[in-house]
Chain A
Amino acid sequence: MATPNTPLSGGGGPFPQGRGRAGRALRGIARPYRSSHGVGRFMLVTGTVLVVLMVLTAVFAPLLAPFGFAQVSGDDGQRFATHLEPGGDHLFGTTTQGFDVFSRVVWGARTAVTVVLLALMFSLFIGVLLGLLAGFVGRWVDRVLVMIMDALFALPALLLAIVVAFLLSEYVGGGASTAALAITAVYVPQYFRVVRAATVSAKEQTYVEAARAMGAKPVTIMVRYLLTNVIQSVPVIATLNAADAILTLAGLGFLGYGIQPTEAAEWGYDLQRAVADTGAGIWWTGLFPGLAIVLLVMGLTLMGEGLNETMNPAIRVRRLLPVSMPELTSRTSAPDAAGAGTGRERGAAGERPEQETSKDGDAS
């Protein structure tokens, strides 16, 4: 631990100490929700509700889904009718292959959440590692990595994911981890940039030098500095990336490079199958998986933008509050240039009441 007197200790958060790690973490999570307001709060809360609903669906998929994702016949062994309209036993209808659409949408949530979590973990890990490496070592390592990352960033995200998925499928086959790794390739450059920038500025911070002189280990200081600086921007980036990752996953599935239909239910794949159905007027095979994607992506985007709005002071909307001014008790002319004016009657009491009634907001 760095000495408590370094300026860095202030970065630990505005929370009173000694509340326990869990309590502090909880308060940290709750903070954006408490300090947000207006549109920002609406976005944050709506987004969180949507995301939580989707995650719950993913977790409890086995309980919620009436059938398996690849199940084409009931418990009685009788095959489901294909192209059944929504209603009855099949809430969202059935597909050309005889799958139950509702079950596939529910299981699809599980696939989406799993893949995105894996992808985020991978890209965070690789991005942070490479970013630290580039930032610390500098020189040619930094230059080469920056060039590679910039080049990757320039390629269309979907194209990059397709190529990686395509190549990996030769080695690993088309499972959830392949899809996750393909998506990882897309988001590594972003984390790399953030972490590298923070590392470089951490190195340049003069007070890092100062603290080093006071006896704290440079590594400790760097880690603390990086944690406090990077961790602030990670929730926003991660949430927005998660939204984008869902779309990339669906895009991969739609083109047939994602998860194979026998391994898990995947919304993008279902939509690919549904394109052929539209000509026949079958709308339910495409509508429901599509809506699931929209809801999850929208939830994550709203959450990310809401977080951004409350945590990023630069774009934070200055809250406009109505001002009520107490009337002045009387108006007489103020002293003019020659100072010939008379004093105004201006009771101290007339000016005060507003002050006591001023709201105490978050005086943090």
Chain B
Amino acid sequence: MALLQIENLTVQFETATGWFKAVDGVSMSVEKGEVLAIVGESGSGKSVAMLAVMGLLPWTAKITADKLLFEGRDMQGISAAERRKLIGKDIAMIFQEPVASLNPCFTVGFQIEEVLRVHLGLDKKARRARAIELFNQVGLPNPEERMHSFPHQMSGGQCQRVMIAIAIACNPKLLIADEPTTALDVTIQKQILDLIMSLQMKTGMGLIMITHDMGVVAETADRVVVQYKGRKMEEADVLSLFENPKSNYTKALLAALPENATGDRLTTVSAFFDGNPEPAPEARA
């Protein structure tokens, strides 16, 4: 049984000109211990699809799916209270802006202990010990002192380490990382990616890596889903995707990488791809 199974997921938002499909009939699944990368440009619906799974979209969004199963359990029908028990414990998420996703009014120690209190019901002493252990695990220097720091007193890379510590606090079965390194420097990006990958290897959790960076895909993924304008363009294991891309859109994306430049101009996407998502380009409202 797949850890997360999504079939024919559609997310729509109402606009002045009618319903806009942000995600349009996407299916995918993640196994235990697998790293799935979802790659796409802005507006391809890669984040929205995962937010729909987490139930983090505003009520104005219309979500429909044939199947939305986490460990065989239907995520569509469950109550808000049940969902709260699941989110943050079995499914955890890391966001793009580490400084913005932490609460500026509380110390990072308070914020990680909150997770441990709500989900695991640990007492004060155990919480503190576990929090320090987690900070150690994600490679924060001086964890005891760091417990009393506020987010603004730490760098972006350190805040992202705190976010990761919070995310893995309850040993989640599935970790969703939404552009975890986009706001960080290259050297810090490397450290954070290495950290996430080693944690994934150690715990055997499923990992969904949402990114727009082909380099990050190449360094992390087992399997890749390529999205464009809310549709899935291609799904393949990472090696075949880079070696032998099937869809024109993937070919175009790979050709647009500056390191693949031949001659003195880059190949632009339009050279391969007419801008229409391939399967049934029906009229968009």
Q: Is B a genuine binding partner of A? A: no
Residues on B close to A: CB < 8 A? none
